[in-house]
Amino acid sequence: MQTCADNVCCVLPYARILVYRYVMPAFPITPSTEIPQMVSNYIANGEINTEFIPVESEHSSMSAAIGAEAAGARSLTATSSAGLALMWEELLLAASNRMPLVLALVNRTLSGPININCDHSDSMGARDTGWIQIYAENNQEAYDNFIQAYPIAENPAVHLPVMICQDGFITSHAVENIELLEDKEVKDFVGEYEPKEYLLNPGKPIAVGPYSATHYAMEAKKNQEIALENAKDVILKAAEDFARLSGRKYGLFEEYRMEDADYAMLIIGSAAGTAKQAVDELRGKGMKAGLIKLRVFRPFPAKELAEALRSVKALAIMDRCESYNGNGGPLGSEVTAGLYRNKVMIETVNYIYGLAGRDFTVEDACGVFAQLEDAALNGKEIEQYQYIGLRK
C-alpha cells in the first residue's frame, strides 16, 4: 500500500479492515469532538462493531477514511473549521477516487481572527471539492440527513462522498427533543455495505494513485460532474423512502409560505428558523413574505430554485460566509447565476450575516423584508452587498 505522501493511505493492515467492515478515524476539534467521543463509547460498550482509529491530525483521519473505503469498508469521520482545512488535499482525493464515505461537519468559522463560533466558511470553502453537501436547520434534520447519507453516497449512479453539515454550537451543543427511529429500522434503511467494486480488491489488482495523463484526467472530472447531477434524483429517492419510514419529508430545499409570496428570503442552516418566525409575523401584518431553506448545496439545484422563485418580486440571498470576491457571498453568486441562466429576471439582494457567530434576529430578518418591499413598491435602490448587524 502507498504511503500518505502518495496521497492514498490507510493506518490499518488490509486484513484487519476485512474484520471491521465499519471504520471511524477521527481527531478532536471544537465543536465536533463529541461525535467521535460518542462513537468510541458505543464501540467500547459493544453496541457497534466498528474500528475506531485515533489519529494524529485531521489530514490523517481523512486519509484513513479513504484507505478504509478503498479496502471495502464503510467509513465515517467528523470535523470542524480548521480540521476541514487540514483535510483539503484528501477531500479532493476522496471525491476523485469516488469514495462513498461520510463526513459529519459541524460548521465553525475559519481563522482568522481565531474564533470558534458558527458560520459556513469551512464548508463553503470546500464547495468545489466534488463532495455532496447537505445542510440541517436543527438537530432533527441533522439526524435525518445522516441516516440518508450512506444510501445516497453508495448508490452506483453516484459513488461520491457526502458532507452532512450542521451549525456549530447553535445545534451541536443545543438540547432539543427529536424523534428517533428504532435501531433495526435505521439498519434496514441504510443496509449492509457490500461493494461490488473497491480499489484494494485483491481479486482485481489495479494501480491506485498513479499519474493521470491528459488523455484521461479530464474525462474523470466529467464523470464526477455527471455523478453529482445523478445525485439529485438519488437524494430525492432517498428522501421519499425516508418519508415512508419516518413521516418526515425532505427535498433539495424547503419552501415555506411561498405559494403566493411577493418577497422571499433564501437561507441555509439554523437561521432559517429565525427567518420563518419573521415570515409568520410579517404575514400577520399583511406582507406576502416567504422563505426557501436550501438543504442541498451540492449538487446545486439551480433550475429547481429558479422555478420556485419565478413569481416573486424581490429575493434576499443570505450568506453566512464571505467569499472575498468584492461582490458578495457564495450563495449570492450561484443563485443569481442560476436565475439568469434560467431566464428568471427578478430583483435580488445579497446579504452577509452571522459571521463568527454574530446574532441574526427576527428583527434583522424583518428589516431585510422591509428593504425588499421598499425597493419593489417605491423603487428605492438597495445596497447590493451589505453586512447585517455590523458594528459602526
Domains within the chain, CATH numbers bracketed? 4-246 (3.40.50.970), 253-387 (3.40.50.920)
User: Do you know the residue count of the chain?
Assistant: 392
Instruction: Provide the grid cell at 181.
Output: 427511529
- Cβ neighbors of 5 (< 8 A, separation 6 or more) are none
Mean pLDDT of the chain: 93
pLDDT, tens digit, for every residue of 310-336?
999 999 999 999 999 999 999 999 999
| Predicted pLDDT at 19 | 42
| Predicted pLDDT at 27 | 97
Q: How confident is the model at residue 4 (pLDDT cuts 50, 70, 90)?
A: very low
Residue 236 has pLDDT above 80, yes or no: yes
User: Looking at this protein, which amino acid is placed at residue 57?
Assistant: S
Q: Which helix (H) or strand (E) holds 350?
A: strand 347-352
- In the chain, % helix, strand, coil (3-state, to 5) comes to 40, 15, 40
Tell me, what DSSP letter sits at residue 250? -
| Predicted pLDDT at 208 | 74
Buried b / exposed e over 324-344, threshold 16 CB at 10 Å, is: eeeebbbbbbbbbebbeebeb
From CA 1, how far away is CA 202, in angstroms rounded? 12
Q: How confident is the model at residue 112 (pLDDT cuts 50, 70, 90)?
A: confident
Q: Give pTM, 2 decimals.
A: 0.93
